């Protein structure tokens, strides 16, 4: 088997050098779900091309580099509509593309990963922040550029503790992902010595996010909802479903800051991030897409750049070779976050600083000073090696 493989790679190499003039074509697929979710703030409403716009920019960047190396990158997009078979779509995409960037819910991603395992296709999870994809349900053919809920919660928690806002009023939404984020926040509080003084649940009773006289109603509801709380420093909201979080700032009964799903929010990226040379990329993104860059755009950009980084380092478009290099000890990628990003080899999660943003500015970047780690300070964010339940297969 090994000899056969080696022979194949040898042949591949010979073929490449024989056709030196012809650039090696490297296919990258993008698999997402059609339609966009609705947000409370109109400003935060995602664009139709959220995510893939970032991948497109990285493909352009890779092609600029690729012209010096005889490599050409092509991006193929596929969006699944309600009721469509995700495995079928993924398999079709894998025909021409050895690498697929995904923005899929956890269950769909696992189905795709298992279906494509024997093909050797390498998947990049740019969209799902679920812990279980890096823990009990981790897969050896899935690399995660999206951060996890625990990483996001820890990034926020470190800052709140550094700020000495250690008494939290936790408000949790009624959807599953809200509860998962609340779990992550509780874990963070325990790890870093914050105290959740009380928890409140905000029931989603349905209703429209856009109404003509919404403000008047919300202004009455939110103070009432937050009154008679025990003494607290900061209200932490777990509302990934966009039901109430954004209504809280400036409307709490007690004058307190809001963090979590609204107010001060932990994110992998922000349109306001301009440090560490990021302004160049923000400008390139704006020029290409006529809008500002979101966290999902950045997670997809990073995935496509990781592929480009590995193909240039290995001088190869061979999926196996590139995959081995990405998973190997020498891999790192620069992504405008002031430090090199590397993979956690035990679950293939990309280590990354997390920005804390308020919608206009980057307020801080975690890990915070003083949170130390024997391997990488980035591993103070999220589940660390000794706690991991992941067995890569």
Partner 1 sequence: MLRMGRVGLLSGLTLAAAPAHAFIAYVSNEKSNTVTVIDTDSWTVTKTIKVGQRPRGIDFTRDGKFVMVAVGDDDTIQVIDAKTQAVVDSLPSGPDPELFAQDAAGKILYVANENDNTVTVIDLEKRARLGDIQVGVEPEGMTISPDGKTLINTSETTNMAHFIDTSSRQIVANVLVDARPRFAEFKHDSSEVWVSSEIGGTVSVIDPRKHEVIGKVTFEIPGLRKEAIQPVGIGMTKDDKTAFVALGPANRIAVVDVATRKVTKYLLVGQRVWHMAFTPDEKYLLTTNGVSNDVSVIDVAAQKVIKTIQVGELPWGITIAP
Q: Which is nearer to partner 1, 7 or 338 (CB)?
A: 338
Closer CB to partner 1, residue 75 or residue 234?
Answer: 75
Shortest CB 95 distance to partner 1, Å:
29
Question: Which one, 66 or 245, has the nearer CB to partner 1?
Answer: 66
Choose which of 7, 10, 223, 277 interacts with partner 1 (CB under 8 A).
277
Does 309 interact with partner 1 (rule: CB under 8 A)? yes
Q: Kindly tell me which of 196 and 334 has the beta carbon lying closer to partner 1.
A: 334
Q: Which is nearer to partner 1, 108 or 300 (CB)?
A: 300
Q: Which stretch binds partner 1 (CB under 8 A): 30-38, 124-132, 239-247, 334-342?
A: 334-342
Nearer to partner 1, 226 or 268 (CB): 268
Instruction: Say whether residue 376 binds partner 1 (CB under 8 A).
Output: yes
275 binds partner 1 (CB under 8 A): no
By CB under 8 A, residue 314 contacts partner 1: no
Binding partner 1 (rule: CB under 8 A), the pick from 16, 39, 201, 339 is 339
Residues sharing a CB contact under 8 Å with residue 79, sequence separation 6 or more, in sequence order: 32, 33, 34
Scanning 81-89, 173-181, 197-205, 305-313 for contacts with partner 1 by CB under 8 A, the matching segment is 305-313
Report if residue 328 touches partner 1, rule: CB under 8 A: no
- Nearer to partner 1 by Cβ, of 213 and 290: the residue is 290
Q: Which is nearer to partner 1, 138 or 333 (CB)?
A: 333
370 binds partner 1 (CB under 8 A): no
Smallest distance, partner 1 to C-beta of residue 68, A: 4
Give CA–CA dist 295/40, Å, rounded: 17
Residue 289 touches partner 1, criterion: CB under 8 A: no
Judged by CB under 8 A, how many residues of this single chain contact partner 1? 21
Contact 120, 323 (CB under 8 A): yes
Binding positions for partner 1, 42-81, rule CB under 8 A: 61, 64-65, 68-69
Q: Out of 37, 292, 340, 391, point to the residue binding partner 1 (CB under 8 A).
A: 340
Q: How many residues does the chain have?
A: 393
Which residue of 312, 346, 359, 388 would you call a contact of partner 1, by CB under 8 A? 312
Binds partner 1 (CB under 8 A): choice among 284, 291, 320, 327:
284
Give the closest residue to 181 by CA, choosing from 156, 149, 217, 157: 149
- Can you tell me the distance from the alpha carbon of 269 to that of 388, in angstroms, rounded to the nearest whole number? 25
- Using the rule CB under 8 A, is 286 a contact of partner 1? no
For residue 175, give the nearest of 242, 112, 123, 122 by alpha carbon. 242
Q: Which residues in 4-43 contact partner 1 (CB under 8 A)?
A: none
Interacting span for partner 1 (CB under 8 A) from 45-53, 151-159, 276-284, 318-326: 276-284
- 3-state secondary structure string across the chain: CHHHHHHHHHHHHHHHHHCCCCCEEEEEEEEEECCCCCCCCHHHCCCCCCCHHHHHHHHHHHHHHHHHHCEEEEEEEEEECCCCCHHHHHHHHHHHCCEEEEECCHHHHHHHHHHHHHHCCEEEECCCCCHHHCCCCCCCCEEECCCCHHHHHHHHHHHHHHCCCCEEEEEEECCHHHHHHHHHHHHHHHHHCCEEEEEEEECCCCCCCCCCCHHHHHHHHHHHHHCCCCCCCEEEEECCCCCCHHHCCCCCCCCCCEEECCCEEEECCCCCCCCCCHHHHHHHHHHHHCCCCCHHHHHHHHHHHHHHHHHHHHCCCCHHHHHHHHHCCCCCEECCCCCEECEECCCCEECCCEEEECCCCEEEEECCCCCCCCCCHHHHCCCCHHHCCCCCC
| Sole binder of partner 1 in the list 128, 222, 333, 350 (CB under 8 A) | 333
- Residues forming contacts to partner 1 in the complex (CB under 8 A) are 61, 64-65, 68-69, 277, 280-281, 283-284, 305, 309, 312-313, 332-334, 339-340, 376-377
């Amino acid at each position: 088997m090994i000899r056969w493989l080696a022979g194949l790679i040898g042949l591949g190499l010979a073929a490449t050098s024989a056709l030196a003039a012809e650039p090696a074509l490297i296919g990258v697929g993008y698999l997402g779900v059609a339609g966009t979710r609705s947000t409370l703030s109109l400003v935060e409403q995602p664009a139709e091309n959220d995510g893939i716009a970032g991948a497109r920019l990285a493909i352009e960047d890779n092609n600029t580099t690729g012209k010096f190396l005889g490599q050409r990158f092509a991006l193929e997009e596929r969006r699944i509509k309600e009721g469509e078979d995700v495995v079928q779509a993924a398999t079709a995409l894998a025909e021409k593309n050895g690498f697929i960037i995904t923005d899929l819910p956890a269950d769909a991603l696992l189905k795709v990963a298992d279906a494509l395992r024997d093909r050797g296709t390498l998947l990049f999870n740019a969209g799902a922040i679920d812990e279980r994809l890096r823990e009990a349900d981790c897969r050896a053919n899935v690399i995660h550029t999206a951060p996890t809920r625990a990483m996001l919660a820890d990034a926020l928690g470190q800052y709140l503790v550094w700020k000495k806002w250690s008494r939290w009023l936790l408000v949790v939404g009624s959807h599953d992902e809200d509860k998962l984020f609340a779990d992550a926040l509780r874990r963070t509080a325990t790890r870093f010595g914050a105290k959740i003084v009380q928890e409140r649940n905000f029931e989603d009773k349905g209703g429209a996010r856009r109404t003509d006289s919404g403000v008047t109603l919300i202004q009455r509801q939110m103070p009432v909802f937050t009154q008679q709380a025990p003494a607290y420093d900061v209200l932490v909201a777990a509302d990934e479903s966009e039901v109430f979080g954004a209504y809280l700032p400036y409307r709490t009964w007690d004058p307190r800051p809001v963090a979590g799903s609204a107010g001060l929010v932990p994110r992998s990226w922000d349109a306001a991030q301009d440090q560490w040379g990021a302004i160049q990329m923000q400008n390139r993104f704006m020029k290409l897409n006529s809008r500002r860059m979101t966290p999902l755009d950045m997670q997809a950009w990073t995935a496509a750049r990781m592929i480009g980084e590995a193909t240039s380092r290995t001088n190869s478009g061979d999926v196996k070779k590139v995959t081995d290099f990405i998973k190997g000890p020498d891999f790192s990628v620069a992504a405008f976050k002031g430090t090199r990003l590397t993979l956690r080899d035990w679950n293939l999660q990309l280590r990354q600083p997390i920005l804390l943003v308020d919608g206009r500015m980057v307020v801080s970047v975690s890990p915070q000073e003083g949170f130390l780690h024997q391997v990488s300070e980035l591993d103070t964010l999220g589940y660390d090696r000794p706690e991991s339940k992941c067995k890569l297969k």
